[in-house]
Chains A and B, each alone.
Chain A
Amino acid sequence: MRDIRAELQDILCDLFDDDDIVIRDEMTAADVAGWDSLNNVRLMVMVERKFGVHFTTGEVVGLKNVGELVKLIEARSA
């Protein structure tokens, strides 16, 4: 069983070059410095690569918080 949360946290730490990021379900882009719409695109591409999943164009913008992203990854990689 993959630890999706731990891997996602690694991606966020890499992307924002900040090892202190700890993810929570209710975390949103507003909670992380530098998480703008363009970095969001980068994040989605990195997530897709890492987990070998694919999101549709609509899904990427419809997510409310980190918890929803984790659920989506779980559903896709199941």
Chain B
Amino acid sequence: MKDSLKTLMRAGRHEEALERILGMSPDMSVDDLQYAATALQKLPAAVIEHRVPLNKRLAVLGGATTQFIVPLIRLFALRRGVRLDIYESDFGLYEQEVWSDSATLHAFKPDVIVFHLCTQNLALPYVEDDGSARVKSDAERFLRLFRTASERFGCAVVADNFAVEPERPMGSLDAVQGNTRNGMVRSINQAIAAARPPNVFMHDVELLSSKHGKQRWFDVRLYHSAKCAVGFDCQPWYADSVGAMVAALFGKSKKCLVLDLDNTLWGGVIGDDGLGGIKLGAGVPAGEAFVAFQRYAKSLKDRGVLLAVASKNEMENAMLPFREHPDMVLREGDISCFIANWNPKDGNIKTIAQRLNIGTDSLVFFDDNPAERELVRSSLPEVVVPEVPEDPAAYVQCLDDANWFDTISVTDEDRQRSAFFQGNLGREDLEKSAANYDEYLQQLQMIAHVGPISEENIVRATQLINKTNQFNLTTRRLSEAEVRTLIEDPLSYTATTRLVDKFGDNGLISVVAGHIDASDAGVLHVDLWLMSCRVLKRGVETFDMERLLAFCRDRGVTRIMGRYIPTPKNKLVESHYDALGFSRVETDAEGTTWRYDVGTPLATSHFISVEH
């Protein structure tokens, strides 16, 4: 690995070197990963920028040595779609940076601050007289720090929690007594998690260190000689886990798990073995492993990850276990897009992405067959294809370790996401039976629930702002703190739309935000206009425009200025403003500017009724 990467670097074959680097994962040798992280810093910025456009600024404030993990965080965030500029505090100055209101950190303008901490930062004795008082004061100390960091620097905070240590001078009492060091560590973690401010997210180092083994995780000698909180073998896992949280913060987590069927969801081949012959359920060890994997997938689905099926099968056979096998955990209704045919899987996967209105780069494809994996890897390199282990008992760990679906919040929309796609089947039938498109829209009986961004919907609105790629005019990403600042500004306009139709609730699907020009009260600038693709061509754009016009008339605004900033993904809305009757007034390097005079009657119409 290292040698081939070195050859590419020396030969100046930068694009190929970058692809190699992007394909690296934390289970690879630490030496190779550290070499790749160093190589990454030597690649021309333009090459990386071209491949991974999304750029964020991350500050790592260290309670332990940060130098070894920072290059690895950069490496792993990149493969998850975020190109990071990273600021590092001087050793151990994680508190001073915040309390001194560090000018250099302000100048850096972080999008996220990572607190890289360790249990030693708590300086707990092995036993404390009054354990609960100590827990309270330490939890408050760190909560204050995290909250202040998030508020002062107007950014998200990702903070390590504290890892329980392997040694325990109190012996077995360590497990039951609240005033031992480990007892206090457990309580401090809980107290911080329970009182966590909205823009502060906990990085679960306690879990990671247990998962990888405490004695591997901590390298006492490395702590004594270099103040490293994590041993070399585990640093890649630490860094990748931070990378996954950063990806989740900026909407780069994957959205859909595409599953094969035979020997992936059950053992054997349904077409040959039949309903009674496949291995699934209690009694057969492998059968239990497949049930466990289905349970994991179902749990992903319940919190908003879409499930799809891409199987080489007759549809009738493929569907049979979902409908009739008593031990199936996944049912027909859990699968948002079900494709079973004999066509090549890369094409089927593209179809799945189209039907679900998501990019192929938000898919993870899980298939036991190495040939299918290879086909998809070579034909659709943007699809994540984990190396599925031979043993079905290891499937859950394979998916869980890779952490492609990490999330920092779960909203009602997430929980209901699959149901939206179920409703789509009914909508498709109606569209076929309706005489024309207008009649279809009328028969959908759409009702919009509208309102500004508020405490009630801020989590979902922020999520939509950060996740939406296609129907997004400016692709401006905002943290929850920034959204909160926006809604408090008296000159700002924010609008959200939740769309319900006869087939179900589509959830909060659009956000429009703008501000009245501070020096010209007659002008409103549209800063954000974005919509979930699941409600394309339903007239929501016109509906949202109507509301924007009403606001403008009410506030005496006479002119609306809109911007379209092209990205590789938002061609869909290239003519959005044109279609609404705006006229183009300017084209610059970044995009185009559009103007609408509020007095002009709206030329488009819709069939959405409103509920406030």
Contacts and interface: CB of A to CB of B under 8 A. Distances in A.
A45 interface: yes
B65 A38 contact: yes
Contact of B31 (A17, A37, A46, A60): A46
Most chain B CB within a 10 A radius of its CB, from A41, A42, A57: A41
Given A45-B232, A61-B225, A17 B67 contact: no
A14 interface: yes
A42 B225 contact: no
A58 B558 CA distance: 76
B68 interface: yes
Interface in A11-42: 14, 17, 37-38, 41-42
22 contacts: A14-B2, A14-B31, A14-B35, A17-B35, A17-B39, A17-B42, A38-B65, A38-B67, A38-B226, A41-B222, A41-B225, A41-B226, A41-B228, A42-B34, A42-B68, A42-B232, A45-B222, A46-B31, A49-B31, A57-B225, A60-B225, A61-B225
B381 to A, nearest CB: 27
Contacts of B38: 17
A37 B228 CA distance: 13
Which 9 pairs between the two chains have the least Cβ-Cβ distance? A41-B226, A57-B221, A38-B67, A45-B232, A57-B224, A57-B225, A17-B38, A60-B225, A41-B225
A17 B43 CA distance: 14
A45 B68 CA distance: 13
Nearest to A58: B225
A9 B191 CA distance: 51
Contacts of A41: 222, 225-226, 228
Interface size class of chain B, counting residues whose CB lies under 8 Å from the partner chain: 10 to 19
B94 to A, nearest CB: 18
Nearest to B41: A17
Interface string B215-234: 00000011011101000100
A20 B67 CA distance: 25
A17 B6 CA distance: 9
Contacts of B34: 42
A17 B228 CA distance: 23
Interface in B281-325: none
Nearest to B42: A17
A38 B68 contact: yes
Contacts of B65: 38
Given A17-B39, A38-B67, A45-B222, 14 more contacts: A14-B2, A14-B31, A14-B35, A17-B38, A38-B65, A38-B68, A41-B225, A41-B226, A42-B232, A46-B31, A49-B31, A57-B221, A57-B224, A61-B225
Contacts, number: 28
Contacts of A38: 65, 67-68, 226
A57 B35 CA distance: 25
Contacts of B67: 38
A53 B228 CA distance: 21
Most chain A CB within a 10 A radius of its CB, from B42, B67, B68, B225: B225
Contacts of A46: 31
A41 B226 CA distance: 7
Interface string B228-244: 10001000000000000
B66 to A, nearest CB: 10
Contacts of A45: 222, 232
Most chain A CB within a 10 A radius of its CB, from B31, B65, B222: B31
Interface string B15-39: 0000000000000000100110011
Nearest to A37: B226
B285 to A, nearest CB: 37
A78 B124 CA distance: 42
Nearest to A41: B226
Contacts of B226: 37-38, 41
A25 to B, nearest CB: 24
Interface string B474-502: 00000000000000000000000000000
A17 B226 CA distance: 22
Contacts of A57: 221, 224-225
Nearest to B65: A38
Interface in B34-79: 34-35, 38-39, 42, 65, 67-68
Contacts of A42: 34, 68, 232
Interface in B169-226: 221-222, 224-226
A45 B67 CA distance: 15
Interface in B109-152: none
A14 B65 CA distance: 22
A3 B224 CA distance: 31
A46 B35 CA distance: 12
A49 B30 CA distance: 11
A41 B38 CA distance: 16
Contacts of A61: 225
A65 B226 CA distance: 20
Interface in B227-267: 228, 232
B564 to A, nearest CB: 44
Contacts of A49: 31
A61 B222 CA distance: 12
A37 B31 CA distance: 18
Contacts of B228: 41
Contacts of A37: 226
Nearest to B29: A49
Nearest to B231: A45
Contacts of B221: 57
Interface string B362-393: 00000000000000000000000000000000
A60 B225 CA distance: 9
A14 to B, nearest CB: 7
A49 to B, nearest CB: 7
A42 B231 CA distance: 11
Contacts of B225: 41, 57, 60-61
